């Protein structure tokens, strides 16, 4: 009765095999592997970064679906600095999203400190500014 998988394993080989060998809808749960898994036949991704940059992540899918894989790769690469800060900074994804959206977090979570917020905002601004140069 399982019809879909969200994969956060960072194992592209195993994911590729499952996509090829099963009828499961396969979703990336690792921002860095969104495009590679989609290119292997994944159904899409479940994304923390899309909470703050939905258009930018949607453009990656649209470019790939239109057959412009080079543009999809460029767009995907542009999302990676923000994804890295949001996912590998030691903050829970929820805290990183709230820091960028300016909302409070609920206990027991604690808000991001000023240096983390400043870094996230700088990465977000860089992503938004890069949009005009594709």
Phi, psi dihedral angles at 25 (to 5 degrees): -75, 125
pLDDT in tens, the chain (134 residues): 999 999 999 999 999 999 999 999 999 999 999 999 999 999 999 999 999 999 999 999 999 999 999 999 999 999 999 999 998 778 899 999 999 999 899 999 999 999 999 999 999 999 999 876 65
Looking at residue 63, what is its pLDDT? 98
Instruction: Report the predicted TM-score, pTM, of the whole model to 2 decimal places.
Output: 0.89
The two three-digit tokens of residue 103, written as one number: 């909302």
Q: Where would I find the H helices in 40-133?
A: 54-65, 69-88, 93-101, 114-130
């Amino acid at each position: 009765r399982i019809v879909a998988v969200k994969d956060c394993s960072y194992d592209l080989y195993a994911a590729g095999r499952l996509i090829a060998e099963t009828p499961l809808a396969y979703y990336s749960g690792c921002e860095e592997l969104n495009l590679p898994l989609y290119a292997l036949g994944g159904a899409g991704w479940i994304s923390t970064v899309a909470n703050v940059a939905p258009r930018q992540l949607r453009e990656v899918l649209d470019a790939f679906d239109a057959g412009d894989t080079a543009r999809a790769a460029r767009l995907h690469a542009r999302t990676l600095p923000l994804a890295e800060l949001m996912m590998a900074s030691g903050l829970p994804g929820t805290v990183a999203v709230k820091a960028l959206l300016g909302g409070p977090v609920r206990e027991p979570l604690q808000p991001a400190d000023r240096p983390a917020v400043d870094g996230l905002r700088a990465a977000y601004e860089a992503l938004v500014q890069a949009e005009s140069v594709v």
